[in-house]
Structure 1
Amino acid sequence: MNYSTIKKVVAGSLFTMAAVAASAQDTTSTSTSTATVFGGRAQYRTWSIGVTGGVLSPIIPFGSNDYGDYDANFGYGLYIKKQIAPSFALKLDAHRGKLSGTYDDYDGRQPRPAGQPADFETDLNYAVSLKGVVNVGTVSFLSRQKNVGFFVQAGAGLTGYDPGDDKTRKELFIPVGVGASFKLGQVVALNLGYDANFLDADNLDRSWVGGRSNKDKWSYGYAGLEFTLGNTSKPSLQWSNPVALMYDELKDPTLRQEVEALKTRVSTLENTVNQLSADADGDGVSDRFDKCPGTPAGTVVDGAGCPLKLPTDSATAGVYPNIQFEFDSSVLRTSSYPTLDKVSSDLRANSSSSLTLEGHASAEGTEAYNMNLSRDRANSVKTYLVNSGVDANRITVKGYGESRPIASNSTEEGRVQNRRVEIKK
């Protein structure tokens, strides 16, 4: 087949491909993308098939075969492709055709060795390979769907051919190629590519006689159409741009409205928490629940923020106020700190003095539980004093549980007073 015939065949093939692509463009151009960034591959079309047609030649840019004068012949092929990610796919590819060339003694090279045929013509029955295809760039970087892409591909395969010496051969080969893709519609794309194929043998153009071994090569330059399979309501993964898709989602008005609404809810919640925790007089009871606002600093208050009426028996009168606790708790209130700081200061000023901490509880719960709770309350007071510099040996801890109430356990006001630690010298 001469160059004129090749041109006519390729031009006719491209015209047919363009006509099919234009028709497909008209019927699929209204499809819209519904994919999201983290929606997974199920939201895309990932399978495609393709047909190719082009020029087969027993030469590549990286070196020639034993026959330097080569012919260009028509080749054709087909493939099926699985898109794994926007940037990578696996392709099962096949092509076939004819390879031919001559050995010209008049081109300045050494004369043809004895026994070497003057020309060759090889029927390439098949060349099947599995390739990895890497998309290396796109023209429309910020478009949600790409329209032009470039790729490189490489893999390994098996080829069967008849070099014209009555012997059919099967050999391994390695294809390496580059190309460009042009999106013509939601279904069809035009591909232009070039593959250099490295054969693991030196018999594609018959055997070299009287010379050194030189493993053969051939090239396949082609144009083709690729058809993406599946429901056209889904976008093609090959043409999806994850960077642009993420950018598009971040700019989505609905999403931004939801973010602003969330900010408003968080701000409202923070204001509510601040209002609930506000304590102007520092008595440990928030203003919202404080029935006696403005109590002086250091005043012992009940759960409603009102001053407690403390016992004034002869053992404790005029010494220190009781340390009050919340229900079922041995954690010190911040309102108790001024009293404890005064006790610590007095003990450190008088090294010979000592005191007893008597823990008490209200009547809720069992007697054994309340006994342990009262002892824990007394130990909390001791720990505070020891941490402030008082010798632990000067402090005695006792727990009385619910056995020594100072108010009635039948009312909440009385129970509040009973949850205490008494400080006695």
Structure 2
Amino acid sequence: MKKHLTKASLLLTGLLAGGSVFAQTADTTKATTTDYVQPFSPDNAFRTWSVGVNGGLMTPFTIFGKKSSQDFRSPHSKIGYGAYIKKQITSGFGLQANFMGGQLAGANGQPTGTGNTMDSYETKLNYALSLNAVLSVGNITFRHNHNFIQPYATVGIGGLNYNPTVVINGTSQNVTANGGSLNEWFVPVGAGFKINVSRGINIDLGYQVNFAYADNLDGYRYGAHNDRFSYAHAGLEFALGSKSKPQLAAHNPVSSIRTEYMMENRNTRNQLQSQIDAQKAANEQLKAELATTNANLAKFTADSDNDGVPDFYDKCPNTPAGTKVDGSGCPLPAPKQITTVITEEDRKVVRDAIANLEFDFGKATIRAHSYPSLDRVAKLLVDKNFSLKLAGHTDNVGSNDANMKLSKDRAESVKSYLVSKGANASRIEATGYGETQPIASNKTAKGRQQNRRVEFTLY
């Protein structure tokens, strides 16, 4: 293992040194017309699609954690390989579809506690497919026209397909029935850099840690941690499209802006100055016209009694301070007192709605058989202009944050449905309390069912 890592370190060091030479030569290289793209040009001015192939070392050892805490304490290095296709969205961001394959191996398994000896394992990684976000840095600079090295970082999500085989007490065993394969999710996180060796070809050097959403990647479940493995690779990336167009990922927009500025001539600057002078004159004329308009409008804005209605439109001048007036400045009649009476029949409509309300498991989607009773609540709110408070509650299964969000979402879902049936949204309050207000014990299934509820309060 140390021998492989030493070789890989020497290779990366050499390539970094070579890349530094490339970057230094860029300091003295003047921008050429082939590097220049007019600022704010559309995507078709660049090569935004590329494909890549790579190979390297694949090992269960990563930079995170210690070898002694892994399921197998002696990780081995195996050959890995991969390919990808990438769409560059901006000069600093792209999306990349990755394929990866190879083998993982290790020995000296952790003690099982049952007397068995986990000698070693070997896992064939049939394929790992993922969609990654790629963040490129270093290509936007004020110092160089073109940087020959672009560092990058990646993160994504995807699926693994693999066949683990373990050796227990000297006997090889397939982990899955009939030697079948397993499928699991994983999250790849990586970093690296690319060296531009030509307008359409890049050397790609990177290191990636892959976090599996399972603890059986090595065929042995030990401890409470999911498995992970690393992939250090070197490869080539090929830009697709016309050779006359630069790669968007390697493009320096700052250099194009600078070149654009240098390409301007004196006549263009004089023309721009003439346009500025003409605009200034037009602005001065607009200011004069605005001053005249403001003077003419002053008589329409005077409000002697400060009731919010200009004197020109005020039919009831000199109203006392604080008097509420209508659009013509006359006092509004005193509002009638409306008493809201909630009958027992109204409460029954609400109780029926609560009793019939059901959601899809773990979701805020209302089931269809709950609609009729909710329709009666909506009609009640429309006909009698009642206000309604919706309080969502859950049991204690799951995290506090997830339960609080689910209870709030369910209350909002009921509110949205009632509003869709004509209820006044401003008269409906939706609140989520999560698991904080149980009405029964969460230690039984019946109690948890009672705690999963949405309460209706008319007022």
Could you say which TM-score interval applies, normalised by the shorter chain?
A: 0.5 to 0.7
What is the 5 A alignment of 1:405-420? none
Q: Aligned pair 1:247/2:247, yes or no?
A: no
In 1: Cα distance, 2:245 partner to 2:216 partner: 48
Structure 2 CA distance for partners of 1:32 and 1:113, relative to 1, 3 Å: farther
In 2: Cα distance, 1:47 partner to 1:81 partner: 6
Partner of 2:104: helix, strand, or coil? strand
Q: Aligned pair 1:76/2:81, yes or no?
A: yes
Which residue is equivalent to 1:90?
Answer: 95
In 1: Cα distance, 2:220 partner to 2:275 partner: 81
What is the 5 A alignment of 1:352-363? none
1:112 Cα shift? 7.4
In 2: Cα distance, 1:116 partner to 1:135 partner: 46
Q: Aligned pair 1:47/2:49, yes or no?
A: yes
In 1: Cα distance, 2:251 partner to 2:182 partner: 42
Q: Aligned pair 1:187/2:200, yes or no?
A: yes
Question: Partner letter of residue 136 of structure 2?
Answer: N
| Native 8 Å contact 1:132 1:153 kept in 2 | yes
Which residue is equivalent to 1:394?
Answer: none
In 2: Cα distance, 1:266 partner to 1:155 partner: 49
In 1: Cα distance, 2:204 partner to 2:117 partner: 39
Question: Partner letter of residue 44 of structure 2?
Answer: A
Off by >4 Å, runs of 4+ in structure 1: 1-8, 109-113, 264-271
Q: Aligned pair 1:172/2:174, yes or no?
A: no
In 2: Cα distance, 1:113 partner to 1:141 partner: 64
Which residue is equivalent to 2:152?
Answer: 151
Which residue is equivalent to 1:137?
Answer: 138
For normalisation by structure 2, the TM-score amounts to 0.49
| Native 8 Å contact 2:153 2:192 kept in 1 | yes
Structure 2 CA distance for partners of 1:261 and 1:154, relative to 1, 3 Å: same
> What is the root-mean-square deviation in Å for CA atoms of aligned residues?
3.7
Per-residue CA deviations over 1:152-197 (Å, capped at 9, x if unaligned) read 1000011101101134111110000011111111010111111100
Which residue is equivalent to 1:258?
Answer: 268
Structure 2 CA distance for partners of 1:249 and 1:167, relative to 1, 3 Å: same
Structure 2 CA distance for partners of 1:99 and 1:249, relative to 1, 3 Å: same
Q: Aligned pair 1:227/2:238, yes or no?
A: yes
| Native 8 Å contact 1:74 1:97 kept in 2 | yes
| Native 8 Å contact 1:174 1:198 kept in 2 | yes
Structure 2 CA distance for partners of 1:31 and 1:233, relative to 1, 3 Å: farther
| Native 8 Å contact 1:57 1:73 kept in 2 | yes
Per-residue CA deviations over 1:106-150 (Å, capped at 9, x if unaligned) read xxx868763342100111111111000001324854433331111
By relative contact order (CA 8 Å, sep 6+), the higher-ranking structure is 1
Question: Partner letter of residue 48 of structure 1?
Answer: S
In 1: Cα distance, 2:255 partner to 2:33 partner: 18
Q: Aligned pair 1:161/2:166, yes or no?
A: no
Structure 2 CA distance for partners of 1:6 and 1:230, relative to 1, 3 Å: farther
What is the 5 A alignment of 1:320-335? none
Which structure: greater helix fraction? 2
Which residue is equivalent to 2:120?
Answer: 119
Which residue is equivalent to 1:215?
Answer: 226
Larger radius of gyration: 1
Which residue is equivalent to 1:318?
Answer: none
In 2: Cα distance, 1:270 partner to 1:117 partner: 84
Structure 2 CA distance for partners of 1:266 and 1:62, relative to 1, 3 Å: closer
In 2: Cα distance, 1:226 partner to 1:154 partner: 19
Which residue is equivalent to 1:238?
Answer: 249
1:69 Cα shift? 0.7
| Pick aligned residue for 1:99 from 84, 101, 104 | 104
In 2: Cα distance, 1:230 partner to 1:99 partner: 37
Structure 2 CA distance for partners of 1:260 and 1:78, relative to 1, 3 Å: same
Partner of 1:263: helix, strand, or coil? helix
1:61 Cα shift? 1.3
35-44 vs 74-83, which moves further: 35-44
Partner of 1:103: helix, strand, or coil? strand
In 2: Cα distance, 1:153 partner to 1:2 partner: 26
Per-residue CA deviations over 1:193-238 (Å, capped at 9, x if unaligned) read 1110000111111123xx5332100000011110001001111101
Structure 2 CA distance for partners of 1:153 and 1:265, relative to 1, 3 Å: closer
Question: Partner letter of residue 234 of structure 2?
Answer: A
Structure 2 CA distance for partners of 1:41 and 1:33, relative to 1, 3 Å: same
Q: Aligned pair 1:201/2:214, yes or no?
A: yes
In 2: Cα distance, 1:5 partner to 1:150 partner: 21
Per-residue CA deviations over 1:363-382 (Å, capped at 9, x if unaligned) read xxxxxxxxxxxxxxxxx9xx
What is the 5 A alignment of 1:8-47? 32-47=34-49
136-145 vs 41-50, which moves further: 136-145
| Native 8 Å contact 2:88 2:248 kept in 1 | yes
Structure 2 CA distance for partners of 1:121 and 1:70, relative to 1, 3 Å: same
| Native 8 Å contact 2:139 2:250 kept in 1 | no
Question: Partner letter of residue 251 of structure 1?
Answer: M
Partner of 1:59: helix, strand, or coil? coil
For normalisation by structure 1, the TM-score amounts to 0.53
Partner of 2:211: helix, strand, or coil? strand
Per-residue CA deviations over 1:67-117 (Å, capped at 9, x if unaligned) read 12100111111100000000100000111111000016xxxx868763342
Q: Which structure 2 residue ranges, 5 or more long, are not aligned? A: 19-30, 166-173, 282-295, 300-459
| Native 8 Å contact 2:140 2:253 kept in 1 | no
Percent identical pairs in the alignment equals: 33
Structure 2 CA distance for partners of 1:100 and 1:258, relative to 1, 3 Å: same
Question: Partner letter of residue 257 of structure 1?
Answer: N
Aligned residues: 254
Structure 2 CA distance for partners of 1:30 and 1:186, relative to 1, 3 Å: farther
Structure 2 CA distance for partners of 1:62 and 1:35, relative to 1, 3 Å: same
1:265 Cα shift? 7.5
